[in-house]
Chains A and B, each alone.
Chain A
Amino acid sequence: MSMKKIITLCLLFFVLSIAYNNSFASSEVGGKQETSLNEKVGTKNLSGVNLWIVELYNNDRFMYAVVVVLVMAALGSIMAFGTDLVLKHFGINVSRISHSE
């Protein structure tokens, strides 16, 4: 299986989960009752990035979820790439290995 196919499958999986969760979110938020989907966090004493995150959390939960997923994916990839470079610098080379017990 090529990497392109894997990436396409991952994207498809992600889009499907967005669609599923979004329909769930919109059906729940419509009601007046306070649920985990529409509860708010106080912004008192907050500034900068913290304030931005909390405002996003309070005002648009769907965008908050998208930002969390994208930032986690980006940070995970960048850190992994950086660590790989450092390990290579120490002479720890990672290539295809033979599988033996």
Chain B
Amino acid sequence: MDIFNISLPIAGIEFNALLLLLIGFCVGVLGGFFGVGGGWIVTPALNIFGFHMAYAIGTDLSNIFGQSIGATVKHHKMGNIDWKLGFISIAASVVGLEIGSQVILFLEKAGDVGSIVRWCYLFLMFGLGSLMFYDYLSQNPARQKGKLGLSVDPINSKPKKPKRSISERLHNINLPPMISFPASGIRSVSLWIVLLVFLFTGFLSGFLGVGGGFIRMPALVYLIGVPTVIAVGTDLMSVLFSGAYGCFTYAIKGRVEFIAAFIMLIGASIGAQIGATAVKYIKGYGIRLLFAIMILFAGCSIALEQIYKITEIPAFQSTAGIVLMGTAVIMTFIIITRLFLEVKKEKKNLKLSRN
């Protein structure tokens, strides 16, 4: 495999070009499918394989920017982007991000900020993953249908009042000015609620030092009440803007390894198109289940990284990398397989209906 090793003069290292293509492709598929930038996968992966952290972040942001262009255009074509909501999310997130980074600066003066951030990251990953997994198990229409068919006594059992979701409760708060998002099917919601949600997600991304796609996407679904595929598209649009800014600002500071970003983007933009296309064929609940699994495994990887920081046993760090990259590769494989199976099924149905 050494023949694929290339010299990366700016980062000052040698790196395997095939590995760059593979990392790019996986994060492209996951980014296009989940509507996230994927920095939480690429940055640790590049870092583990030899990139200095600052170059890993800068190169990753350049890749995120390039891959999200094509995927955003594709989601726009499919009608998956709520531009009005997207621009509000960017504006509020920037303010939240600034507050988050100020809190970090304050904590830095007080003591060990790294450990606090990692514990919060861990709590968020497991909390979010468990919440989405629980939601899938309790709300999935197919499972609900199965439950109803089992042992319901129509005479003695009282009809259960359907539970109101968090987003429905938030929509009922009448705090003017009210705003509507027709593209997301939201008739009326208080602008303050929307701003508060994005301020909070922005704060988390500033505090944790991440792009925030994996926080914004579930927030759009569970707190604002946006359909999953529109949440994916709208989040990707926000990622495009933050990626563009991140790419430029890191490049001017000299922390983008241009050749690595270029090679990674070849794989990522192919992957992003496949991921964005798969959204058309996999239902919202399926997307949320896969996202929950991905987040939970990413949480496991961070937990291993945290154990490494405490024990300083290198095996934990390499296992963390293997868990993260392994999950990304398996998830990419599942998405592509599901896509091709669904396409095959669609073609078969089309053939039958013609006959």
Interface residues of A (CB under 8 A from B): 1, 3, 6, 9-10, 13-14, 17-18, 21-22, 24-25, 36-37, 39, 41-43, 46, 50, 53-54, 57, 61-62, 64-65, 67-69, 71-73, 75-77, 79-81, 83-84, 87, 90-92, 94-97, 99-101
Contact = CB atoms under 8 A, between A and B. Distances in A.
Contacts of A41: 9-10, 12
Interface residues of B, number: 62
A37 to B, nearest CB: 6
A21 B71 CA distance: 27
Given A37-B254, A72-B65, A96 B79 contact: yes
B7 interface: yes
A62 B252 CA distance: 6
Interface majority SS (helix, strand, loop, mixed), chain B:
helix
B272 A21 contact: no
Contacts of B277: 87, 92, 94
B78 A53 contact: no
A80 B70 contact: yes
Contacts of A69: 65, 244, 247-248, 251
Nearest to A46: B9
Contact of A94 (B10, B77, B269): B77
A57 B284 CA distance: 44
A87 B54 CA distance: 36
Contact of B74 (A13, A42, A65, A94): A94
B141 interface: yes
Contacts of A73: 65-66, 69
B128 interface: no
A68 B62 contact: yes
B285 interface: yes
